[in-house]
């Protein structure tokens, strides 16, 4: 249990620092910004209670907002993503066995297709919420949707690559 807590804290710190120092300055054509720090929330254990999950997501988003000088966009988006994870995310991960408990949801503890779909849905939820808050208007609806789509796909690809290349846990 202690090892699990320490590994989650380490992952949280590393991903937040990576987002703040590197990925916030990466922009592809002004439309796509990859968000790797959401992986810290998405890889929390499925048995974690709803309130701690939402508080951790809130803290992660708030840290990014504080260091990026953004008025709460990441905080709300990350908390919304965690809320959606509470509703459907755990069912997506454990659809074969609804009573299963996954210590660290990853590509090595969950079959590839459900895990990839889980990451994609959560990336779309996060990106949609973030882009709608950022534009705060329907004036440029199609440009906002393009930005959301590119953010979601870029984030999903980055999350999948990080899982396939870095995650050390094998079945």
SS3 28: strand
Categorize the per-residue pLDDT at 23 as very low, low, confident or very high, splitting at 50, 70 and 90: confident
Q: Which CATH architecture has domain 2-166?
A: Orthogonal Bundle (1.10)
CB 105 within 8 A of CB 42: yes
Instruction: Kindly report the pTM of this predicted structure.
Output: 0.88
CB 14 within 8 A of CB 63: no
Q: What is the pLDDT of residues 46-87, one digit of tens each?
A: 888 899 999 999 999 999 999 988 889 999 999 999 999 988
């Amino acid at each position: 249990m202690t090892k699990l807590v320490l590994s989650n804290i380490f992952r949280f710190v590393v991903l937040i620092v990576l987002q703040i120092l590197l990925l916030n300055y990466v922009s592809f054509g002004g439309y796509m910004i990859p968000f790797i720090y959401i992986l810290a929330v998405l890889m929390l254990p499925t048995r974690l209670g709803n309130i701690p999950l939402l508080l951790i997501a809130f803290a992660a988003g708030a840290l990014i907002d504080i260091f990026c000088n953004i008025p709460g966009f990441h905080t709300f988006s990350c908390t919304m993503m965690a809320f959606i994870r509470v509703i459907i995310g755990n069912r997506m991960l454990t659809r074969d066995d609804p009573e299963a408990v996954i210590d660290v949801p990853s590509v090595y503890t969950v079959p590839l297709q459900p895990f990839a779909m889980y990451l994609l849905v959560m990336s779309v939820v996060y990106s949609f919420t973030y882009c709608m808050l950022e534009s705060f208007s329907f004036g440029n609806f199609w440009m906002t949707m393009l930005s959301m789509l590119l953010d979601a796909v870029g984030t999903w690809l980055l999350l999948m690559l990080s899982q396939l290349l870095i995650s050390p846990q094998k079945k």
